[in-house]
Amino acid sequence: MIRTLLDAFTARFGPGDAPRLFFAPGRVNLIGEHTDYNGGHVFPCALSLGTWCAARRRSDSTVRLATGNIPRSGVLRHPLGYRARRGSRCWSRYPESVINAFRHAGFQIPTGMDLYYYGNIPSGSGLSSSASMEVVTGAVLRELYGLRVSSVRLAQLGQYAENVYVGVQCGIMDQFASAMGRRAHAIYLDTASLRYEYAPLRLPDSSIVVCNSRVKHSLASSEYNLRRSQCETALAALRTVRDIPALCALTPEEFEALSERIPDPLCRKRARHAVRENARTQQALEALRADRLADFGRLMNESHVSLRDDYEVSCPELDLLTRLAWDTEGVVGSRMTGGGFGGCTVSIVKTEALADFQEKLARVYRERTGLEAEFYTVEAGDGVRRLI
């Protein structure tokens, strides 16, 4: 793999200084969905899938970018500080947004660079291929220019790039998981304080399985931003009666007592999801710590129902995959994961039931939708790193 990437770099950019090679993973969120911009908890783990970047400094101020993921895409050549026009769909807006976020934050990037990317996360699958590209770019900048940036700050700069330049009002979860992941652990993160702990994924006779619906989450950015603004409307209404920093500062009981203060029923439902999902995430950590896997699974199932009915970010294909999983012997829990409107489900499945689970879901899903689901058994991996 490393050799192939370095050869591809040289084929695109020609001879010169040897590039350095970096990797940042994607993530799967076990539970805690749409809580990260509501001051709540999330519980993702980093994957072994992700984005590689081979990089070297240049002596002029040109940034050359290439990707191994788009056939015949050639080499892009832009001046340092280049900003794609609003609404651009070009893949390079992710790395270029990160370069701009670093410059905006006051970091000195005195020269241009050559950047070659390759990723093995299916795009639009909701496993954070864009966050992994942002975080790997941050790691490249840190190393090439000797910048003093912590990995948490890398995640924040990636989020800033996505919010301000790409235009998706995402929370911190994806970039945080990509920057801070740890092998065989999930990250329990309080997005209000950025305090986090690593929870060992002790699943002796079970596996975490991601199932890609192959429905691309195309509505994701517009509907995502809409959900976020509905939560903000709900929060503003609650603040007229109680001083709270974020929706997830409330327990479900406190929320029920106040919820009538949110005049719009849709915003009330959205807020109810965020508050209850946060409580479920806290309970899920307890369940995992105490080896109560069945409770963890039940919380995952409840999470899906809430995302489907109250938050309305699921889609028929994700509902079908979760329903099939719930009806399968040996499935501990199953839910959609990530922003929604397509993408993946995540399930915990007893190892002895894995083969039947995949066979049944693939077959019935194909019969009903004509689509080929894809399965990945998750190996929780480390966060961003330099490989050579």
Catalytic residue ranges: 174
- Least CB distance to ligand GLA at residue 6 (A): 31
- Least CB distance to ligand GLA at residue 221 (A): 10
Residue 177 or 262 with smaller CB distance to ligand GLA: 177
- Least CB distance to ligand GLA at residue 339 (A): 3
The owner of tokens 């899903």 is: 365
Residue 19 or 340 with smaller CB distance to ligand GLA: 340
Query: Does residue 174 touch ligand GLA according to CB under 6 A?
Result: yes
Q: Which stretch binds ligand GLA (CB under 6 A): 14-22, 141-149, 168-176, 314-322?
A: 168-176
Q: Which stretch binds ligand GLA (CB under 6 A): 31-39, 58-66, 71-79, 318-326?
A: 31-39
Out of 40, 171, 181, 297, point to the residue binding ligand GLA (CB under 6 A). 171
Residue 34 or 304 with smaller CB distance to ligand GLA: 34
Name residues whose C-beta falls within 8 Å of residue 85's C-beta, 6 or more positions apart in sequence.
Answer: none
DSSP state of 126: S
Give residues 302-331 in contact with ligand GLA (rule: CB under 6 A): none
CB-CB neighbours of 121 under 10 Å: 24
Residue 347 or 358 with smaller CB distance to ligand GLA: 347
Instruction: Return the ∠ at Cα 119 (arms to 336 and 183), rounded to 5°.
Output: 65
Q: Which stretch binds ligand GLA (CB under 6 A): 13-21, 63-71, 167-175, 255-263?
A: 167-175
CA distances, 70 to each of 92, 117, 133, 215 (Å): 11, 10, 15, 19
Burial category of 131 from C-beta neighbours within 10 Å (exposed 0-12, middle 13-18, buried 19 and up): buried
Site residue total, ligand GLA (CB under 6 A)? 10
Give residues 125-154 in contact with ligand GLA (rule: CB under 6 A): none
Give residues 355-374 in contact with ligand GLA (rule: CB under 6 A): none
Query: Does residue 185 touch ligand GLA according to CB under 6 A?
Result: no
CA distance 330 to 355: 11
Residue 113 or 154 with smaller CB distance to ligand GLA: 154
- Least CB distance to ligand GLA at residue 241 (A): 27
Residue 28 or 113 with smaller CB distance to ligand GLA: 28
Q: Which stretch binds ligand GLA (CB under 6 A): 28-36, 92-100, 181-189, 358-366?
A: 28-36
Out of 45, 65, 173, 349, point to the residue binding ligand GLA (CB under 6 A). 173
CA distances, 267 to each of 48, 67, 226 (Å): 37, 41, 10
DSSP state of 370: S
**Nearest Cα to 152, choosing from 133, 180, 130?**
180
Residue 33 or 317 with smaller CB distance to ligand GLA: 33
Query: Does residue 26 touch ligand GLA according to CB under 6 A?
Result: no
The H or E element containing residue 336 is: strand 331-337
Query: Does residue 36 touch ligand GLA according to CB under 6 A?
Result: yes
**Nearest Cα to 69, choosing from 139, 8, 15, 17?**
8
List the structure tokens of 387: 């490989």
CA distances, 348 to each of 147, 167, 209, 345, 372 (Å): 40, 33, 6, 10, 20
CA distance 166 to 160: 9
Query: Does residue 338 touch ligand GLA according to CB under 6 A?
Result: yes
Out of 25, 339, 342, 383, point to the residue binding ligand GLA (CB under 6 A). 339
CB-CB neighbours of 13 under 10 Å: 19
- Interaction site with ligand GLA (CB under 6 A): 33-34, 36-37, 170-171, 173-174, 338-339
